[in-house]
């Protein structure tokens, strides 16, 4: 707590226009719609502010947590006693990027841009390659961090480069080839960089055909996923040689409930907030699911959703 006080003092001196929030309810910032307050949250709206924030955190010896759309995050009921950084302002912008060769079709997006917004903007511009991302409820920064994907597509497939600010407040551009992408992870997974933007290379396409593909994927999601309830998407990683949802279903766990948390009856891989769920409900439900799947199938499930506490 003393370090946070020191951090606030440094930020007030070095970045006077920065938006700071104390005891910010994390239920406002996660798709699960639950979680206690973050002790301190900064919302930098420009690269200069982002640099100042990370330099101040380094000076105060405070480790920042970089928050995207909170779509893969579960926050403890007691909250998070640390420092959260969430991008805003210019980081929510999308713009086509001129290409010197006039051959590449480039789209630049800020780290806080929602994938749904970026997918729709690409469609408007007649650019294909991001149709799969339209239904992923994450931000560009979060999607790059975990190499988000769906329906055969992954964010790394169309990514050219990533613009970051490191923990020392230095700005860097990292080529996609150096990002270490793998299944749901990258070099950014450890939190060493704040992703402030990304550049994508897309293919020209017919907007009507792109929209048709997006509509098709949206229909599939609505038919198979419990989109009407707050959740964090797939709760578990895909075990080698198996599918988590199939194992959970096989064990008869659809509908299993703890408090306000439930294993979705529509998709067993989702844990949903049926109303009034707290983090403790979700974690106890996850514990029971893992225990029963291991006992009945011999497969140990690993959480994909991160727990912040």
Give yes or no: 300 in active site. no
Q: What pLDDT score does 8 carry?
A: 94
Per DSSP, the chain holds a count of helices (H) and strands (E) of 7, 18
User: For the chain, what is the mean pLDDT?
Assistant: 95
Exactly one of 184, 213, 274, 292 is catalytic; name it: 184
Structural domain boundaries enclosing 121: 92-210
Helix axes 115-124 and 207-224, enclosed angle (nearest 10): 150
The least confident of 88-92, 96-100, 269-273 is 96-100
49 is catalytic: no
Whether residues 294 and 248 share a domain: the answer is yes
Look at residues 66, 86, 106 and tell me which one is the last residue of a structural domain.
86
Same domain, 25 and 133: no
Predicted model pTM: 0.93
What does the pLDDT read at residue 183? 84
Neighbouring residues of 117: CB distance < 8 A, sequence distance ≥ 6 = 94
HSE-up of residue 281 (Cα within 13 Å, Cβ side): 20
- Could you report the per-residue pLDDT of 247-303, keeping only the tens digit for each? 999 999 999 999 999 999 999 999 999 999 999 999 999 999 999 999 999 999 999
Please tell me the total count of domains within the chain: 3
> Is 215 part of any domain?
no
Of 132, 98, 128, 101, nearest to 115 by C-alpha is 132
Same domain, 74 and 143: no
Do both 31 and 64 map to the same domain? yes
Report residue 43: phi and psi, to 5°.
-125, 75
Q: Are 130 and 157 found together in one domain? A: yes
> Per the residue annotation, which of 71, 231, 234, 264 is the catalytic one?
234
Rounded mean pLDDT of 171-185?
94
Q: Is the pLDDT of residue 61 over 60?
A: yes
- Is residue 220 one of the residues assigned to a domain? no
Is the domain of 98 the same as that of 134? yes
Is 103's pLDDT higher than 70?
no
Tell me, yes or no, if 71 is annotated catalytic: no
Reported confidence tier of residue 228, pLDDT bands at 50, 70, 90 = very high
Q: Which of 35, 63, 86 is the last residue of a domain?
A: 86
Residue 216: inside a domain, yes or no? no
Share in percent of the chain as helix, strand, coil (round to 5): 35, 30, 35
Which of 167, 185, 210 terminates a domain? The answer is 210
């Amino acid at each position: 707590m003393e370090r946070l006080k020191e951090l606030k003092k440094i930020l007030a001196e070095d970045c006077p226009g920065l938006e700071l929030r104390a005891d910010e309810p994390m239920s406002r910032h996660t798709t699960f719609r639950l979680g206690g307050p973050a002790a301190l949250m900064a919302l930098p709206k420009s690269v200069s502010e982002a640099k100042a924030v990370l330099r101040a955190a380094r000076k105060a010896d405070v480790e920042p947590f970089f928050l995207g759309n909170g779509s893969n995050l579960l926050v403890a009921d007691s909250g998070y006693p640390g420092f959260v950084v969430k991008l805003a302002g210019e980081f929510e912008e999308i713009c086509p990027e001129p290409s010197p060769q006039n051959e590449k079709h480039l789209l630049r997006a800020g780290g806080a841009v929602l994938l749904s917004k970026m997918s729709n903007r690409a469609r408007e511009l007649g650019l294909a390659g991001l149709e799969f991302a339209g239904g992923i409820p994450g931000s560009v920064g979060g999607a790059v961090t975990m190499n988000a994907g769906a329906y055969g597509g992954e964010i790394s497939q169309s990514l050219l480069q990533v613009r970051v600010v490191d923990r020392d407040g230095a700005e860097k551009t990292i080529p996609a080839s150096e990002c270490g992408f793998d299944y749901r992870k990258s070099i950014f997974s450890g939190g060493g960089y704040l992703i402030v933007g990304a550049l994508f290379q897309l293919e020209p396409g017919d907007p009507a055909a792109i929209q048709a593909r997006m509509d098709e994927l949206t229909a599939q999601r609505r038919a198979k996923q419990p989109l009407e309830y707050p959740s964090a998407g797939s709760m578990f990683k895909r075990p080698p040689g198996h599918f988590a949802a199939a194992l959970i279903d096989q064990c008869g766990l659809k509908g299993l409930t703890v408090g306000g948390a439930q294993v979705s009856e529509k998709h067993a891989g989702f844990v949903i907030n049926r109303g009034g769920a707290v983090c403790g409900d979700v974690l106890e439900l996850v514990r029971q699911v893992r225990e029963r799947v291991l006992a009945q199938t011999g497969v140990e499930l690993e959480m994909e959703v991160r727990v912040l506490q």
